Amino acid sequence: MPRELLAVVRKRVEEVNPKVNALPTLCFERAERAAAELESRPVLKRGRFAGLPWPIKDSYDVAGVRTTYGSLAYADHIAETSDYAVEAIEAAGGIVYAKSNTPEFEAGANTFNEVFGRTLNPFDPTRSAGGSSGGAAVAVATGMAFLAQGSDFACSLRYPAAFCNVVGLRPTAGLVPQGPNALPFQVLSVVGPIARSVADAAFALDGMVRFDARDPLTRSRDGGSYLTAALAPRRPRRAAFSIDLGIAKVDPEVRAIVTRAVERLASEGLRVEEAHPDLSGADRAFRPLRAFQFAALRRDALARVRSKLKPEVVWNIEEGLKLTAADLAAAEEERVRLRQSMLAFLETRCTVITPTAPVAPFPVEQRYVDEIDGHKLSTYLDWLVLGYAATVCGCPAISIPCGRTASGLPIGLQIVGRPYGETELLQTAAWCEAVLGSALSAPVDPVTLA
């Protein structure tokens, strides 16, 4: 029954959350009311999730619940209405019981903020959990959640999944409703699930996808079940593998682990070609468009409470405010070229495989990765390029576990597919997951320091 399941989750949260700080805001009273209402319905009328508890990322509104966006500027904000994605989850029978931690305005792939502090990696509490859906990934990895909602702009579902040894799926824009916001036509930031297996991620996606007329990008479903696809693993006919996409710096240990994983896939019959599309313009397209989005959505906060915003957020908003129409036109022109390059490449390869993140989980006190293999990086975005190269092309991408470092830290494998090709992507990911055998078979108990 939903209330019994909620009680189990509550007990686990009480035991684990103080060790990792993944779920800073709890709303179990609201959840219990929802569970009781759900139990009053006939079983077949309870929706796909049928009372499954869900945490929601703290950058997404839940009606009546404190929602801070990880920012001191909104530290006391209580949402009046829920985001469309939250409504979709609840309409499918999901029960919201917590908000998961996120960096301020989702800026940066290390989950910390001045409201709630740092979220810690359950495999090593001195290490980052990734971000910006870091709280969601830690909750799933530690058994405080069966599934979790997150979102992905540059890499925010995939990097924390890689750092926490779980699965993070960035779907094609328009599958899961997003909003309300001031940029309803944007396609860079999307909502998706984090889970402990590919099948669970597919199950989650089945319930999150729906048409919502308030989001101009959503469309009616074509039919079929993503879970059915994930339960029928299929080796792709051909795959491309690139350790760096020709544009990233990658840590040597990550290179070795991911290369071994791909060799293992090849030993099971996968035809692998070392190649990648021309993505050399990823920065030229993504960075201006990201800056524009920050300026469009957050310039009011900059004008009102600049002193409360972290430096990376201030920088990104100001970069957006400097843009000219010519800058945006050039970025859009480059984005078109990148997408065409990727689509042409995928005509003869079913998928592109890369490392998810270029480094293993790094010290949690470090705001972002500023050096890889002796190469100094200039901004907090530089180390995210393996993620946003897929974002800017409009492709779905999934991260699955593929191995551990010598010190036991998780490493992820990113699989990129064709736009709206989630069915094929999930079948491929499920096959890779089965071959590699690196997925969590059970929740982990957080490592604690003596």
DSSP string computed for 354-414: EESSSS---BTTSSS--EETTEE--STTGGGHHHHHHHHHT--EEEEEEEE-TTS-EEEEE
Choose, from 57, 99, 249, 310, the residue flagged as catalytic.
57
Q: Is 417 helix (H, G, I), strand (E, B) or coil?
A: coil
Domain boundaries, the chain: 2-436
Q: Average pLDDT of 365-379?
A: 97
Q: Residue 405 — φ and ψ, nearest 5°?
A: -75, 175
Q: Are strands 272-274 and 239-241 parallel, antiparallel or unpaired?
A: parallel
Query: Is 80 exceeded by the pLDDT of residue 223?
Result: no
Choose, from 100, 156, 242, 399, the residue flagged as catalytic.
156
Query: Is 80 exceeded by the pLDDT of residue 239?
Result: yes
Provide the pLDDT confidence category of residue 382 given band limits of 50, 70 and 90: very high
8 A C-beta contact, residue 374 and residue 122:
no
Q: Is 201 helix (H, G, I), strand (E, B) or coil?
A: helix
pLDDT score at 427: 98
Query: Is 60 exceeded by the pLDDT of residue 450?
Result: no
pLDDT score at 220: 78
CA distance 171 to 151: 10
Known active-site residue 267: no
Q: Average pLDDT of 80-95?
A: 98
Known active-site residue 132: yes
Q: Average pLDDT of 376-402?
A: 98
Query: Is 90 exceeded by the pLDDT of residue 309?
Result: yes
Q: Torsion angle, CA of 187/57/164/268, rounded to 10 degrees?
A: -40
Query: Is 80 exceeded by the pLDDT of residue 318?
Result: yes
Comparing 1 with 332, the larger pLDDT belongs to 332
- What architecture is the 2-436 domain classified under in CATH? Alpha-Beta Complex (3.90)
- Phi/psi-derived region of residue 50, left when phi > 0, alpha when psi is between -120 and 50, beta in every other case: left
Q: Residue 411 — φ and ψ, nearest 5°?
A: -130, 140
Express as a percent the part of the chain with pLDDT over 70.
Answer: 100
CA distance 169 to 147: 12
pLDDT, one tens digit per residue, over 405-442 is 999 999 999 999 999 999 999 999 999 999 999 999 89
Choose, from 82, 100, 128, 132, the residue flagged as catalytic.
132
pLDDT, one tens digit per residue, over 116-155 is 999 999 999 999 999 999 999 999 999 999 999 999 999 9
Listed residue (390, 384, 430, 402) closest to 173, CA to CA: 390
Query: Is 80 exceeded by the pLDDT of residue 222?
Result: no
CA distance 87 to 93: 10
**For residue 151, what are the β-bridge partners?**
191
**For residue 95, what are the β-bridge partners?**
53
* Residue showing tokens 């944007």: 186
Known active-site residue 57: yes
Give rounded-to-5 percent helix, strand, coil for the chain.
40, 15, 45
